[in-house]
Every structure is written in structure tokens, then in C-alpha cells.
A = this chain, B = another copy of it.
Amino acid sequence: MADVPLDLDAFVCFAIYSANGAFNRAYKPALDALGLTYPQYVTMVALWTQDDVTVGALGDRLFLESNTLTPLLKRLESAGLVTRRRDPADERQVRIQLTDAGRALKVRAKGVPQAISGAFAGADPDDIARLRDEISRLRDALNTR
């Protein structure tokens, strides 16, 4: 078997790593207009889908730990987009709820995904969906080791 050339282009992880940075750069202008960072944006998307969730449940959805989410959620709280309240039934848990401003932001955020539509110009939507699902499966395979 021939030696594998040790070049960055050969690494799936580097393709993912560098594509992640590219997505961040591409989304930045649209997110700046909303006053959100990318992790804050995906957190809001998760909350727009399902409101009134615990920090832990949100972390499961976003693949993030509480030590990352807690400060992020405090910033969203400072921005007036969410509230953080201890669950009276189980005071260990903190429940995250959207404020009116947080719900209202969903409308203004509607155009954010189109910020990168240029990169998909001319591509078959089914191909994009397939690519997305393959990456998600790879992620799940890595996470369940």
C-alpha cells in the first residue's frame, strides 16, 4: 500500500474545520445585524423550535456542555432575548424561556440562511440534503464512541 500523503487536503476533519470557519465568516454580516454570534444564533433557532427547555436539554440538542451554555445564555438574557429561571419542581434545573423580544427576533432572522445561498447556487437541493445528512451521520458516529 502506498504511503498516504500527509497533506491537509487529505483530512476530512480539516475540511470540516475549515468549512466551519467559512460558514462563520459568511454568516457574520447577517448575524451582526441581529446582534448575535453564530452559537447564539443556533441556540435561538433551537429555542424557536422548542421553548421552555432546561440547560441540559438545550446542550443535548446543540452538542454543548453547560460550561459553554451558561455564559452564552447569560448574554442572551442580558440582551433581553431569554429568561433563566430555576424550575420550582426541581431546583437543580434552570429553564430557558424566550421573551417577547426573543420570539420577535425570529421574524427578523428569517433571511439569515439566505446569507449563504450563493454558495449553493445551481446545486440540487437533494444533493445538499444528502451532504448535510452524511455529515450529521459522521458526527453521530464520532459522538457515540
Interface residues of A (CB under 8 A from B): 6-23, 25-27, 38, 42, 45-46, 48-49, 61-64, 106, 113, 116, 118-120, 128, 131-136, 138-143, 145
A to B CB contacts below 8 Å, 28 in the list? A6-B45, A7-B45, A8-B49, A10-B132, A11-B45, A12-B131, A12-B132, A12-B135, A13-B116, A15-B133, A16-B16, A16-B19, A16-B135, A17-B20, A17-B23, A18-B62, A18-B136, A19-B135, A19-B142, A21-B63, A22-B140, A22-B142, A22-B143, A25-B142, A26-B145, A118-B145, A119-B138, A119-B145
CB contacts (< 8 Å) of A132 on chain B: these are 10-12, 15
For A141, give its contact among B9, B17, B119 (CB under 8 Å): B119
Chain B residues with Cβ below 8 Å from A62 are 8, 18
- Say what secondary structure dominates the interface of chain A: helix
Query: How far is A42 from B8 in the complex, measured between Cα atoms in Å?
Result: 7
Given contacts A7-B49, A11-B45, A26-B142, 6 further A-B contacts (CB under 8 A): A6-B48, A8-B46, A22-B138, A22-B143, A25-B143, A119-B145
